[in-house]
Amino acid sequence: MENKTNQHTNPADFEVRSLDTMCVNESELKHPWYYNLKYSLVGVIFGIVFIKAEIISWFRIQEMFRLQSFHMYGVIGTAVVVGAISVFLIKKFKVKTIHGEEITFTDKKFNKGQIIGGLTFGLGWALTGACPGPLFAQVGSGAIVILVVILSATAGTWVYGKFRDQLPH
Amino acid sequence: MMETITQPWPWYTAGIIIGLIVPALLILGNKHFGISANLRHACAVCLPSNIPFFKYDWKKETWNFFFVGGILVGGIISTLYLGSGDAVIVHPDLAQELASYGITDFSGMVPSQLFSFESLFTVRGLVMMVGGGFLVGFGARYAGGCTSGHAIMGLSDLQWPSLVATICFMIGGFVMANFILPFILHL
């Protein structure tokens, strides 16, 4: 990519920004790579919670979809409430990042993908008993075979990218 | 104290910590909680194949690799040092149903009788691991996010398209677990 400052000239870059949930609010500051380790630390905490609260358990996910347990609903529900209060406070007090940068939010646009893709994702979720985050924690817990699932999920992502223009959105 | 840590954690503890990941990532560097994007970045790094969807400057997204790397390490730490060693307690109805498919080992986070290298060479294992993984990866990107990006980050930011996605995740899961999975487990 020859353009370093004007990211919006690349349509894919723009779509990453506007349509996806991923973060592309890249910092204007240039930090050495090890600044990223702070995100690893957050990941470590996340991974520990995943295991300790059995969120990565295939059994817990099956119980959730069979309404046999409140556990996962409690986890997700509490997380959303805490997350929503946090986002509200960040917006209200215009909290800045630790590097003094502005925290930004992008509204998501509705498209058919959220329905079709959402249903597809749900079918897969109940099969593997794990969404993408827990897959990595499952590997960490010693289930090395789950690398195959991650590889297959990456293949699924690639196939989506390949046929994106032919799919209804 | 240590006993409290090694026992399975209740949902509210987990929910609060996961909820706090949202502001933590925002405050650390204006990063939005999301995990499935990593799979897209992996495609962009390894096999962009001139597909526009994978042609972007993935180097700006490396934080996300560090984040999932941390999840993996957290999984290792937790399993090695913080576990109670007890089997997962499974709801009796589920245990009974699974037993009818020959799944009786509840010692791991994933049932070893379904998720193992041996079962990868059975139709059942192949459908569940390779098929399931494919649906997760394809669906997450088609929907523009997974459970973290839509159900937690998106709902926290009160985005109604994320609510639509979350509801569809749940519908898909209900249909699979209750109507399709029984046939697959019989394979």
Look-up: residue for tokens 């998106």?
B154
How do the residues of chain A divide into helix, strand and coil, expressed in percent and rounded to 5?
65, 0, 35
A 136-155: CB under 8 A from B: 136-143, 145-146, 148-155
Q: In the numeric block, which tokens belong to residue B139?
A: 């669906």
pLDDT tens by residue, A132-148: 999 999 999 999 999 99
pLDDT tens by residue, A71-104: 999 999 999 999 999 999 999 999 999 999 999 9
- The verdict on residue A136 lying in a domain is yes
Residue from the list A41, A97, A124 with its beta carbon closest to the beta carbon of B136: A124
- The verdict on residue A14 lying in a domain is yes
The whole-angstrom separation of Cα B172 and Cα B156 is 22
Measuring CA to CA, which residue among A132, A151, A105, A169 is closest to residue B53? A169
Residue A163 CA: distances (Å) to CA of A21, A110, B6, B38, B40: 20, 20, 46, 19, 14
- In a mutational test of the A interface, the residue from B16, B27, B67 whose CB has the highest number of chain A CBs within 10 Å is B67
- The verdict on residue A55 lying in a domain is yes
pLDDT of residue A71: 96
User: Residues of B with CB below 8 A from A52's CB?
Assistant: 5, 8-9, 14, 78, 82
The whole-angstrom separation of Cα A11 and Cα A14 is 5
Task: Report the domain count for chain A.
Answer: 1
Mean pLDDT of A8-29: 51
pLDDT tens by residue, B53-103: 999 888 889 999 999 999 999 999 999 999 877 778 899 999 999 999 999
Residue B75 CA: distances (Å) to CA of A54, B69, B146, B171, B183: 11, 10, 20, 29, 31
- Residue A28: pLDDT band by 50, 70, 90 thresholds? low
User: Residues of B with CB below 8 A from A12's CB?
Assistant: 52-56
Structural domain span for residue A45:
4-163
List A96's β-bridge partners, or say none.
A102
Residue A35: CB atoms within 10 A of its CB come to 16
- The verdict on residue A168 lying in a domain is no
Q: In the numeric block, which tokens belong to residue B155?
A: 């709902």
The whole-angstrom separation of Cα A104 and Cα A82 is 19
Measuring CA to CA, which residue among B118, B93, B132 is closest to residue A130? B132
pLDDT of residue A6: 40
- The verdict on residue A124 lying in a domain is yes
- The verdict on residue A155 lying in a domain is yes
Contact B172 A46 (CB under 8 A): no
pLDDT tens by residue, A108-139: 999 999 999 999 999 999 999 999 999 999 99
- The verdict on residue A169 lying in a domain is no
User: Residues of A with CB below 8 A from B150's CB?
Assistant: 21, 114, 118
- The verdict on residue A53 lying in a domain is yes
- The answer on pLDDT for A22 being more than 50 is no
**How close are the terminal C-alpha atoms of chain B, in Å?**
45
